[in-house]
Amino acid sequence: MMSINQETQNKIKTIWDTYVADKKKVLDKNGNEIAEIDNSRLETIKTLKEIIDDFLNSRYNVYEFKTAVDSLNKRNNYWGFTATKGQMYFNQLVRNSEAHIEKFTSLLKESLKQPKSLSEAKSKISKLEEYSASIFYKASDKRKAPNPASVGYFLSYFWQIQDWQSWPIIYTSLINAFETLTIWEYKKQQDDTYEYFYNLYGEIKQILSKHAGHPVSNWQAEHAFWNFNGNPNKVTPVKKKAETAKNDFEQKEEKEESRPALTASFELSDYLIPKVARLTALGNEVSISSSSKGAEYERLVAEIFKQLDFEVELLGQGKGRNPDAIIKVREDNTAFIVDAKAYSSGYNMGLDDRAIREYINYYCPKLAKDGYRKIGFIIVSNSFKSDLSSFINEITWNTEIKRFILLTSDALLFLLAYKTKDRLSVSTIIDSLISLSSPILSTNVIQEFDDI
pLDDT digits (tens, 9 = 90+) for 213-259: 999 999 999 999 988 864 433 333 333 334 444 454 545 444 444 44
What DSSP string runs through 74-88? HHS-SS-TTSIIIII
Supply angle C-alpha 329, 301, 435, rounded to 5: 55
Neighbours of 39 (CB within 10 A): 9
317, 294 Cβ separation under 8 angstroms: yes
Residue pLDDT, tens place only, 332-389: 899 999 999 998 788 887 768 889 999 999 999 999 999 999 999 999 999 998 888 8
Among the ranges 20-34, 105-119, 136-150, 233-247, which has the highest mean pLDDT value?
A: 105-119
Average pLDDT, integer, range 28-39: 76
pLDDT at 307: 96
pLDDT at 30: 56
Provide the β-strand partners of residue 232: none
Share of the chain above pLDDT 70, in %: 89
Predicted TM-score of the model (pTM): 0.58
304, 413 Cβ separation under 8 angstroms: yes
Angstrom distance (rounded) from CA 176 to CA 182: 10
**Which H helix or E strand runs over 160?**
helix 151-162
Over 60: is that where the pLDDT of 123 sits? yes
* CA nearest neighbour of 164 among 55, 79, 77: 79
Tell me, what amino acid is at 325?
A
Pick the more confident residue, 423 or 263: 423
Kindly report the CATH number that applies to the domain delimited by 263-449: 3.40.91.30
pLDDT at 451: 62
Domains of the chain, by residue range, sit at: 6-230, 263-449
Cβ neighbourhood burial of 277 (10 Å; 0-12, 13-18, 19+): middle
Share of the chain above pLDDT 90, in %: 62
Query: Binning pLDDT at 50, 70 and 90, where does residue 140 land?
Result: confident
Tell me, what amino acid is at 143?
R
Average pLDDT, integer, range 6-17: 95
pLDDT at 437: 83
Angstrom distance (rounded) from CA 149 to CA 89: 10
Residue pLDDT, tens place only, 42-95: 999 999 999 999 999 999 999 999 999 988 988 888 898 988 899 889 999 998
Helix axes 442-449, 409-422, angle to 10 degrees: 20
pLDDT at 381: 95
Q: 142: helix, coil or strand?
A: helix
pLDDT at 357: 92
pLDDT at 59: 95
Spatial neighbors of 300 by CB under 8 A, at least 6 apart, are: 275, 276, 278, 279, 282
Cβ neighbourhood burial of 103 (10 Å; 0-12, 13-18, 19+): exposed
The whole-chain average pLDDT of the chain stands at 87
pLDDT at 352: 80
pLDDT at 28: 64
Provide the β-strand partners of residue 126: none
